[in-house]
Amino acid sequence: MSEPAATVGFLVDGNQSPEQRAALEWCSANGIDVDIVSIEDVATGDDTSVGDGDYDVLWWHRAAAVEDIDALPDCREPIRSSLEDGGGLVLTLRALEAVRALGIDSVEPDVSTLEEPTTTVGVLWKSLYTDHPAVESFDELRVPTRDPGGPQPVARYESVLPERGEVLASTLREDHEAPHEVAVVGWRVGCGDVAGLGTGIRFEGETPVGPAENRTRLLCGLLDVLADDRVRIADERPKDAAALAADRERLAADPHRPQYHLSPPANWLNDPNGVIEWDGTYHAFYQYNPGGPYHGTIHWGHAVSEDLVHWEDRPVALSPSPDGPDRDGCWSGCAVDVDGTPTIVYTGGRDDLQLPCVGTATDAGLTGWEKSSANPVIDEPPVEPSLRSTDHWRAEFRDHCVWQADGTWHHLVGSGIEDGGGTALLYTSEDDDLTDWTYQGPILVGDPERDGHMWECPELLDLGEKQLLHVSNYETVRYFLGTYADGEFDVERTGVLDHGEFYAPQSLRDDDGRWLTWGWLEPARDEPAQWDAGWSGAMSLPRRIDLGPDGRLRQRPADELTDLRVERRDDGSAPVTLDDERRDVDVSGRALEIDLEVRLEDAAEFGLVVGESPDGDERTPIRYTRASELVVDRAHSSVDPRTAAEPVRMDVTPVDDSLSLRAFLDGSVLELFANDRHCLTTRIYPTRADSDGISLYATDGVATVESFDVWTLDSAWESEP
């Protein structure tokens, strides 16, 4: 794609502005054949060249706001006719305001203004599209396109995303990256394509050579793609299952991508939502941002499994409504069976409000949801007690757990009390539409120092003899084991559900009566590293949660996960005695299950080392000490400075007993289950291809490894190797 578009119709409304004249001079300097086309003449029918398809690409470049946007529908038909026949359209700067009026998208940019950049500005291209023909001349994702001098007109998506457009790039600033400031969007319209470039370019005035060259290459690349009927500007939105599988395949070679943990096909994943078994199929919904690997403009992603082991991507299940109470995001919620109808309760965000919304499934596959006309189903947060507020939120009031007991619906909402601790607020309803709720008050208020000031994602599970309440407090997941009755929770025992990068868990009760829980595994690396990877976030393995014979909480991997085992691989040496020594294990890999039992005789410490390079430059010891502590030492897990290096630790069974440890290594995920009770999940990012070794050691004495098994594990995704 080396030749520029053959013919370009340069759209103008009214007199040409200085910026438009400068853009036309740029076209001439770069050999682009341009005709000036009056939008007014197109609207009145005096100019039929657009509708007749006389141009390969139409280009509307505008620095000022679109003044008469209500008149644009008059020229919509000829422009759409050009697109339907395979033509292209590029909207630059504030011309992007017109996407709704032109019928390209139902959501227009929510930011359109004039800025004064203090640093070089450019585009932050998505790594998912490094092979995009528009940027084939660039070797980097970060492309500066204009200098800081002078005003910069912008039109971009920030709090919202286009409904039908695919985000190709965000905004690059010299002093920081801004993933939430969408810079380049691609749309398919019939056989044609539309590109929106809302920031980072200017023709009027002087521009340094480097940014000017980048601007030229980027614009020429976009014009080339739009003029070429053999390629498309972007995937069609919303993406179908095949397109999501293609996204997953594009990123499958990343050694840090989990193979058997649930992960997004690309872009961003956080909290599990609406997990439910329906007609024998497990459905895992999750917080998903199709705009890129960053938190913002949340939709609900969707994956399904027949066996709890192998998963398939489904199209996005829930999207913000442009004019609804969830315009700024469809945030965390749950799924329940309401008299045979799958129903979700989720948080809708708009402006400074976050309020509960309801939706019902429109098909047996749970791929479509009809939002209630009563949304939001609770109009405002309660007045008493006084709830925490922030600069962004009128009140912290979000995330939902709903269940039915004795004919009454119960509904927990997470919050925090001003100058106090986190809390879970109870509402009740006799209404099967889940739209009429009566406030009852907090079921429990936590100690702010121990339990946190704000509780997200509260969930109450009935374990039979006891009930389990767990909450996420920004730092960790606290649990309370006790008795729930009459709107109050009586705590008998409290602790931490997982001691690592595990957050916002959600559970389902399956057809066998088991409670199965998933949590979000936070990335533990910085935002630029996540952007470069093209994806962020994973979910834990499904855990079975119940009570042991001693009445204490147990957590174990779901039994079905043994079906992932492909080959049993160990060195055949167990039981083995380690006497102040280190031994290599003749096993390597990044998708493994390791199951061992070890006893400290008089050793100060036993260690299982994973992710180890032959020279030891990269390694992650899992240390079991005489202080009854299990520590994941990440000081040398990666030579990449963008990843977390601090240790993660938890207390375990007293040292006089053997330690039973199941370790699941999956790309960057390390998930540990100790004695079927204690969990520690963390993330590691070795950079070397040979950082896949395993070793065992004991220090300052003897440790006996009583059993030791290693299995290689299969992928959960058919599209991955």
**pLDDT tens-digit map of 250-291:** 999 999 999 999 999 999 999 999 999 999 999 999 999 999
Longest Cα–Cα distance of the chain, Å, equals 93
Percent of the chain topping pLDDT 90: 92
Q: Is the pLDDT of residue 467 over 70?
A: yes
pLDDT at 585: 94
The one-letter code for the residue type at 94 is R
| Amino acid 291: pLDDT | 97
pLDDT confidence tier of residue 570, bands split at 50, 70 and 90: confident
What pLDDT was estimated at residue 679? 98
The set of catalytic residues is: 271
Domains detected in the chain: 8-227 (3.40.50.880), 267-557 (2.115.10.20), 562-713 (2.60.120.560)
Model confidence at 717: pLDDT above 80: yes
pLDDT of residue 403 exceeding 70, the answer is yes
Q: What is the mean pLDDT of the chain?
A: 95
Is residue 52 within 8 A of residue 42, CB to CB? The reply is no
| CA 136 to chain CA centroid, nearest Å | 27
- Pairing, β 693-699 against β 605-612: antiparallel
Render pLDDT for 410-435 as a digit per residue (tens, 0 to 9). 999 999 999 999 999 999 999 999 99
Average pLDDT over residues 520-544: 98
| pLDDT given for residue 720 in this prediction | 44
pLDDT of residue 5: 62
Residues 6+ away with beta carbon under 8 Å from 718: 245, 310, 312
10 Å CB burial of residue 620 (0-12, 13-18, 19+) is: buried
pLDDT of residue 72: 84
pLDDT score for 451 = 98
Which whole-number Å values give the CA distances from 663 to 581, 590, 677, in the listed order? 22, 12, 13
Cβ contacts of 458 within 8 Å, gap of 6 or more: 399, 401, 412, 413, 414, 424, 469, 470, 471
**Span 395-417, mean pLDDT?**
97
Over the stretch 617-664, which tens digit does the pLDDT of each residue have? 999 999 999 999 999 999 999 999 999 999 999 999 887 789 999 999
Report the alpha-carbon distance of residue 259 to residue 374 in Å, rounded.
Answer: 41
